[in-house]
Amino acid sequence: MYRKAVYQIPTENEHPKNSIALALQRLFYNLQFSNTAVSTTELSQSFGWDSYDLFMQRDIQEFNRFLQENVEEKVIDTPAEGTIKTIILGKIKSYIRIPKSERVIQGLHTGRYTKNENKYMAEGHGLQDAKKGVVFKTFPPVLQIPLKRFEYNMTKDTRVKFPPEIDLQPYHISRGPQNSQKSLKYILHGVLVHSGSINSGHYFAFVRPTAEDKRFQFNDDRVTPATFDEVFEDNYGGRSTCANYATSTIKMKETNAYMLVYIQKPFQRSILKPVTLKDIPHHLIQRIEQENRENNDRNQAMVPGHSRKGQRKFKAY
């Protein structure tokens, strides 16, 4: 569904170095149909980044927000307008509640008790112990959960476990089944992982591309099948024990999940519906195929003993 929305953005008269939408369309096309690894350099250049920018450490959540906001702007006044928001946008309701009266006072985006010196000043009630929290009014079909690992401690790294399936009904404002609300069970389809330290590192991802229970690791130019432990246990963070015949040492894990992508069960089929050639703009297919032919011709011309004359005769026939 997301790729189809991106393909509906008009890009006939644009250049990939100056158009994020076109660069993203080309990336999606080549990932689906190329027999070799696909570079993301063209997409990076479309952001206006130079060689220095390409090697800057970036937070995945900030990058994701930047990309989605740009795509959402480009689909305005196209058949795909509103699709991106429909896929990833939910609604929350935040509150402050005084436990004694269970009275909702006002909204705050937190989730903890205010006690002692942090008591809440409630109009007409004075200082009160209060509970701040958030409930969800609606959940999106595709739920992106950033794991806020912003604080680095050399002696402590929080272990965060995440399940292959979650039920978010307890966190919905209804607190129970609603006829108007679809099942709130979600299946994990993506894990974005950071490997390294606070000073340097590398991002890669585990993806479950279909409803079938198979996952793959996408790491630079390599795509390999992934086991359950490689997706989950290896990326919970925390500490690991390395043992040999004489001693054992405890060290911090170098791989940590940074963002999780869940898909709501009732929407799996529509979100993951395969993209076919009829969903792809004809001008994009023609453009990429022409570039591929020109690249093949240049590569052939570099082969020793290659005859340009012979090539022209072959093409004429």
Instruction: Write down the CATH superfamily of domain 91-138.
Output: ubp-family deubiquitinating enzyme superfamily (2.20.210.10)
Predicted pLDDT of residue 169: 86
More confident residue, 309 or 127: 127
> Per-residue DSSP letters for 17-77?
TT-HHHHHHHHHHHHHH-SS----HHHHHHTT--HHHHTS---HHHHHHHHHHHHHHHTTT
The partner residues of 96 in beta bridges, in order of sequence, read 132
**Nearest of 187, 148, 191 to residue 167 by alpha carbon:** 187
Mean pLDDT score, 37-60: 79
Average pLDDT, the chain: 79
Question: How is the chain split into domains, by residue range?
Answer: 1-89, 91-138, 141-285
Integer Cα distance of 236 and 216 in angstroms: 17
Q: Do the strands 126-128 and 239-243 form a parallel or antiparallel pair, or are they unpaired?
A: unpaired
The residues near 162 (Cβ < 8 Å, ≥ 6 apart) are 145, 188, 191, 232, 236, 257, 260
Integer Cα distance of 128 and 133 in angstroms: 15
Predicted pLDDT of residue 117: 62
**Nearest of 41, 37, 1, 45 to residue 19 by alpha carbon:** 45
pLDDT tens for residues 226-256? 999 999 988 887 666 555 555 555 556 778 8
Angle at 171 between CA 68 and CA 191, to 5 degrees: 45
pLDDT tens for residues 102-141? 444 443 334 445 555 667 676 776 777 777 777 888 899 9
CATH 3.10.20.30 fits 141-285, yes or no: no
**151 pLDDT more than 60:** no
Burial of 84 (0-12, 13-18, 19+ CB in 10 A): buried
Burial 96-111 (b: 16+ CB within 10 A, else e): bbbeeeeeebeeeeee
**101 pLDDT more than 70:** no
> Within a 10 A sphere around the Cβ of 238, how many other Cβ atoms?
13
Predicted pLDDT of residue 208: 94
